[in-house]
Amino acid sequence: MSTANTPVRQLDAPAVDELRHIAEKILGEFGTSATTAALLGRVAHAVGGFSDALRHHCRPVDTADGLFVLRGLDVNDDAIGPTPAGWATAGDSGARHDITLLLLATVMGNPLAWKGQQNGRFVHNIVPSPGHETAQTGASSSVLLSPHTEDAFHPGRAHLLMLGCMRNPDHIATTAASIRNVSLPDEDIDILTRPLLPVFPDDAYAKAEEYADVPPPPVPTLFASEDGLTLRFDPAYTPLEEADETYRAAYRRLEAELARVSVAVSLNPGEVLVLDNDVVVHGRVPFQARYDGTDRWLKRASVRIPGRRTRPPAEAGEHGYGQTALEAHTA
């Protein structure tokens, strides 16, 4: 696993000041970062006035790595308060940074939320939570969070994933691997582009169990888009044991290749990791949570890009396990 050569876009002081001023103004107007139609509209209006320099920093991912780090945002460790004990109690913790991330998400596309996840908020708090140490969700800590496509179970999943660092004193790394950097034989690609197995929702979606008796849609793991291979990958929630040995072997070779090309990105406060969710799988290394207000704390935002053609058309017919995507239409 490599840690070098992660693409970085450094925000200059005027861009940082611009973002801070706009976020503080919006927070002052609304008194909260909880997303409403009015707040989303205000954010979209503010983004319309972004400088060309700031827009340039937010241009699409433009390397085969499928990611970049936006560096330079100001995060005051004392001002943000203690790391929340869980998303449900986080409330407006780090509210200005919620709005900053929402501004950045809006200039990149349409922010996305889920009605059944974190109360429908458009910016999530990712913190270790007691009782969830071994879960395959963002609330875990003591186990490897397996590399995966964000919300791989759903046809309305994000095109971009943004992880903004509030606190990371133990330098805990996010892992990332691009399908564009792997080397697979044509036979494996052919096998994995066939829709054979479903991808189930993770435990963060409380109402998904209501679809236990509904036939799950089989989906392809790989898709040959006009721009190159994309993937839909979540081994922790894919019933690989239901496939034949040929398919399982191809899937395992893909896993091994993704591990080979994986990079580890240890974010510092004020850095935002932007991942192309069609190209890159991400995870997290294990760590020991302290639950004393000093643990790792990330903010997460998801983005859909209107008109993007990176997925099989057949996805449009999937039921999505009853989960409702809430998309802020900003364009």
Q: Which residues pair with residue 298 across a beta bridge?
A: 126, 165
pLDDT digits (tens, 9 = 90+) for 290-303: 999 999 999 999 99
Which has the higher per-residue pLDDT, 7 or 207? 7
CA nearest to 152, candidates 107, 205, 106, 226 = 205
Q: Is the pLDDT of residue 56 over 90?
A: yes
Pick the CATH number of 8-327 from 1.10.10.60, 3.40.50.2300, 3.60.130.10, 3.40.640.10: 3.60.130.10
Q: Is the pLDDT of residue 1 over 60?
A: no
**Residues in contact with 59: Cβ distance below 8 Å, sequence separation at least 6, in sequence order:** none
| pLDDT score, position 4 | 53
Q: Is the pLDDT of residue 239 over 60?
A: yes
Q: Is the pLDDT of residue 75 over 90?
A: yes
Local confidence band at 208 (pLDDT 50, 70, 90 cut-offs):
low
Across all residues in the chain, what is the average pLDDT?
Answer: 92
Distance of alpha carbon 260 from alpha carbon 228, whole angstroms = 20
Extents of the domains making up the chain? 8-327
Per-residue pLDDT, averaged over 37-57, amounts to: 95
Q: Is the pLDDT of residue 203 over 80?
A: no
Which has the higher per-residue pLDDT, 138 or 3? 138
| pLDDT score, position 322 | 85
| pLDDT score, position 192 | 98
Local confidence band at 205 (pLDDT 50, 70, 90 cut-offs):
low
| In contact, 327 and 112? CB cutoff 8 Å | yes
Distance of alpha carbon 243 from alpha carbon 249, whole angstroms = 10
Local confidence band at 2 (pLDDT 50, 70, 90 cut-offs):
very low
pLDDT digits (tens, 9 = 90+) for 145-202: 899 999 999 999 999 999 999 999 999 999 999 999 999 999 999 999 999 999 998 7
Q: Is the pLDDT of residue 251 over 70?
A: yes
| pLDDT above 90 as % of the chain | 76
| pLDDT score, position 39 | 96
Local confidence band at 143 (pLDDT 50, 70, 90 cut-offs):
confident
Q: Is the pLDDT of residue 25 over 90?
A: yes
